[in-house]
Amino acid sequence: MPSSESAQQRIRTLDPRGAKRGLSLKEFYPSRSNNARKGDFGRVVVCGGSDRYAGSVVAPKRAADIVAAYSPDLITVPCDSSFPDPNIVIELLENADALVVGCGVIRTPESHGALLDIIQRCKTPMVLDAEALHALAAKAGSIKGKQVLLTPNAGEYRVLSGTSWPPAADARRTAVKTLAKQYDATVIVKGAPDIVSDGERTYVDPRGSPYMTKGGYGDLLAGVAGAHLARGRTPFDAARVAAFIVGRAGELASAKFGESTLASDVLQFFSSVISSR
């Protein structure tokens, strides 16, 4: 039986609001009207996946089928190729408000060509993650004049910038700001902590857990950010709220599951974090 002190400490640990909020979710999740309908909160196209990595929506057939089997709530669009079909994606974007692209795509010249085609033709705000960042590095001008959030980890930062991720905190903030200016985009470099910059402003989110160093967490962040782009948020604000929600949910999941924490466990705590606003 734990002591009352340790029990109270555990309650504080599991409090979804956290000890140092720094960002109010009330701004991002206002109360909904009783007359609200599904189109009022934006539509996101998630474009990615491959025969090996199945967690996407517009994806090769095998990946799309797996996603469809996971939940009937998800709308999937299978492609005949081993990477997302640009023509299908662009057609879907005619009725969408944001695009999340790159998660789980295989690394081939053909897939990079398809991703660049999608990026160049896309007219909605975008989150570029994973393989889309590798494709972009070869043609940085593809996002000129667009609303874009880049979500690299330390390794992808090196691909985009051509330099190593610096070890010192001050140097890291400067590095993210410099990369944002280089690509004329908002950047969030995922890590401990997450660092966001649009080239002018910089935001640091310290939330998270070392148990989150597994596959899928970047996909969660890209998805939350894409949802907020679809609601009309700026890429900077979308990155801030995504870092907060995923980081805080990760803390809660890690407190419960420890070493065995998976990205799907973190997803389960999103509602706790959002409802605590």
Query: Is-contact 179 214, C-beta < 8 A?
Result: no
Query: Is-contact 14 7, C-beta < 8 A?
Result: no
Per-residue tens of pLDDT for the chain, all 277 residues? 333 333 333 323 343 443 344 688 988 988 888 888 878 889 999 998 776 666 667 877 888 888 778 776 777 777 777 778 999 999 999 999 999 999 888 899 999 999 999 999 999 999 999 999 999 999 999 999 999 999 999 999 999 999 999 999 999 999 999 999 999 999 999 998 999 999 999 999 999 999 998 888 999 999 999 999 999 999 999 999 999 999 999 999 999 999 999 999 999 999 999 998 7
Neighbouring-strand partners of residue 202? 197
Please state the domain extents for the chain.
Answer: 147-277
pLDDT for position 4: 33
Q: Give CA–CA dist 92/56, Å, rounded.
A: 15
Count the residues in the chain.
277
Could you give the C-alpha distances from 202 to 38, 45, 175, 249, in angstroms and in order? 33, 28, 11, 22
pTM for this structure?
A: 0.87
Q: Give CA–CA dist 55/45, Å, rounded.
A: 13
pLDDT for position 72: 67
Give the neighbor-by-neighbor strand order of the sheet with 202-205: 77-79, 58-60, 44-47, 98-101, 126-128, 148-150, 186-189, 194-197, 202-205
Give the other-Cβ count within 10 Å of 19's Cβ.
7
Q: Give CA–CA dist 15/122, Å, rounded.
A: 40
CATH node for 147-277: 3.40.1190.20
Cα angle for residues 55, 146, 181 (degrees, 5° grid): 100
